[in-house]
Amino acid sequence: MLARIIYGSVQPRKARSPVTRAGFIRLLGRLVLIDRINEDRTTNLLFQCSREVGVSLSASQIELFWLYLQELLEWNRRFNLTAIKNPEDIVIKHFVDSLTPFPYLDFSGSLLDIGSGAGFPGIPLKIVAPQLQVHLVDANRKKISFLKHLTRTLGLEGITAHHSRVEEMKHPEKPFQIIISRAFQRLEPLIQLVSPLLESGNTLVAMLGPANTQELSQFHALASAAGLESRQIVTLDLPHGRGGRTLMFLQKR
């Protein structure tokens, strides 16, 4: 047996606090949960696919995503939160897709997610960037109820769900450092909507669908006309052939 000796004197061991029945049940429940997560094939899928887009998830983050998936599947049986119902598709088309901007930008400070729906991309980004102050906006009351329930269930702090339209939101005292959305098919209406909220140096992240060279050129022109500088454009394919994504990182001049 090893003994810890400090300056020649043996330190007496402190008596352990007795394990209560409630504490034992919580510990047992935790072990059962971890076992279920490890056996779920979506867990390995999330871990592998997130690495493919440049994001390495910790065990605690994997657990949060797994709980997120269970809550989303449960609520989606009663409310139409997302048309995607297959768990593996949710993992790639929602979770992994939401993480695609993460390697290209410092996600710190405050973030506004426009048209968040069932929490995408705001909540996945919050999971991988806990220091981020996240504001989720959606006009659908049921989706906002789900988001509030989800943040409580996952124990996430520094996240607020707003039942509102963006144009009706009260402007914050301090501007959002990052505004992001994947709810728009086209760039023009998104720029028109967020322009009043952007100040010099702030970043707009537009998560658009696949785009060809001509469309990318048009995006540049639209951004420039709105006083935005195209800092970076990333085109990528989601893992397992689940579609393409164009990420535009625009900064207010």
Q: What are 150-207's pLDDT values in tens digits? A: 999 999 999 999 999 988 887 777 889 999 999 998 999 999 999 889 889 999 999 9
Q: Is 204 helix (H, G, I), strand (E, B) or coil?
A: strand
Distance in angstroms (rounded) separating the CA atoms of residues 131 and 126: 8
CB-based contacts of 233, cutoff 8 Å, min separation 6: 216, 219, 246, 247, 248, 249
High-pLDDT (> 90) share of the chain, %: 73
* pTM score of the predicted model: 0.84
Gap between the terminal Cα atoms of the chain: 66
> Hey, what domains does the chain have and what are their CATH numbers?
48-252 (3.40.50.150)
Band (34; pLDDT cuts 50, 70, 90): low
Which sign, positive or negative, has the C-alpha torsion 142, 144, 148, 153? positive
pLDDT score for 4? 38
Residues 137-143 have a mean pLDDT of 96
Band (40; pLDDT cuts 50, 70, 90): confident
Alpha helices (H) in the chain, listed in sequence order:
21-39, 41-52, 59-76, 87-89, 97-99, 122-128, 141-154, 187-194, 213-225
Contact present, 181 and 113 (Cβ < 8 Å): yes
